[in-house]
Structure 1
């Protein structure tokens, strides 16, 4: 309980600080460096205020071209922790629209270049995919959660939505699968109090070329991608299960 109280108190203060000063930084620095600095400050605060020990294996991240990172999703911690783990690439996120509508935080979300997705509107969702494709063409990587929402069971990955796969195939850039293990045990969907677990593992797998697949083969590609990621996730889950 003490850990939970400390997390919300200290993280709220950091969030207010970032939400106040990030827009100011954006106004005086056109390069975006200050925005990235405040974004990383917020993400690291989520890690440190929650006393999470983040263990990463991200040597496979390409640095010579933009990619699409595809990650599993179990907790609100997934966004800040994966940002820290993938900070060499500083990818933009595709996330649900209501994050953009949050007071203060929503503005910072937009300043960082993240892309909102309205899952209730198919046309708007397609426009979001086009915005993500433009981001990639401009040289910035994108990260998305193909399960669509936070999963409530952790034994295996959920089903993948094909919209995310279509973006990857249309963009024609490599996909880097990212496995996040442990966040669901700390703050699962529907819970406020932090769990007792403190270690989180994030691994970037080998990039997968999309050159051999077409949009018509999106289901085949999606099945292949989920199978590879699920196998790695289950291996990591079995290895670290005693920490849950």
Structure 2
């Protein structure tokens, strides 16, 4: 497996590239509902999130750099990470899902990170799935980690992407109530089922918030990125300006 090799200067550099070039170029807005730090530093946290887009990892990295004081790590598919090895510099580590040994090795590495009091991000669906696919269908690795690390807090996070009034997409992250070990003390498969149901309900509630907002800011959300006008907004502003000048000279 490929282990994380975090670098403060690379994180700083990549943070600015990610925000100023990638995210502002492709997203109209990025919002966060809730808090990314459900526990004080030193308390291990597993962040479980649905996985519906190639952008998920970059959105999470931006969010934690903006709204968290913890050290975060993220599990990433080994085939992808082999192509983009620089991700290890911002806290990614790999999992080879084609190998039982590879899966075990990555789970053991995850356990080491948790015992060091860090936060790790897992996408328990395993692969990118359509946003509206139900059920979410979790793999059992999350249950394995929780059975062996009862002190861990589980923070459910949902990501919802939408297109509406703007040319660019909008994405929001929602942090639900954290779960403690006394809610999960059963076998690993049952744990996965319980967490799967919880994240699925949260994702459905998240979708409803987006529908109700209808293009406006979500209730209780804070913006994580400066909004830049898309092409349609610049055109509308130009057209309104022309109309004002035409009206002025037509007097």
Q: For structure 1, list consecutive stretches of 5 or more residues without a partner in the other structure.
A: 1-25, 187-194
User: Which structure's residues are more often strand, by fraction?
Assistant: 2
- Rg larger in structure: 2
Residue 109 of structure 2 is aligned to residue 146 of structure 1: no
149-158 vs 50-59, which moves further: 149-158
Residue 159 of structure 2 is aligned to residue 180 of structure 1: yes
Q: For structure 2, list consecutive stretches of 5 or more residues without a partner in the other structure.
A: 216-251
2:45 touches 2:154 (CA, 8 Å); kept in 1?
yes
Alignment map for 1:107-118 (pairs within 5 Å): 108-118=86-96
Q: Which residue does the alignment assign to 2:23? A: 47
Alignment map for 1:1-244 (pairs within 5 Å): 32-44=7-19, 45-59=21-35, 61=37, 62-64=39-41, 65-87=43-65, 88=68, 89-102=70-83, 105-106=84-85, 108-172=86-150, 173-182=152-161, 196=167, 198-211=169-182, 213-214=184-185, 217-241=187-211
Deviations 1:167-188 (A, max 9, x none): 23323311100010116x69xx
Runs of 4+ in 1 over 3 A off after TM superposition: 211-214
Question: Alpha carbon RMSD of aligned pairs, Å?
Answer: 2.5
TM-score of the two chains, using structure 1 as the length reference? 0.73
Higher RCO (CA-CA < 8 Å; seq separation 6+) = 2
Question: How many pairs does the alignment contain?
Answer: 201
Question: Residue 152 of structure 1: SS of its match in structure 2?
Answer: coil
Question: Residue 128 of structure 2: SS of its match in structure 1?
Answer: coil
Question: Residue 149 of structure 1: SS of its match in structure 2?
Answer: coil
Q: Distance in 1 between matches of 2:29 and 2:204?
A: 20
2:143 touches 2:187 (CA, 8 Å); kept in 1?
no
**Post-superposition offset of 1:211:** 4.3
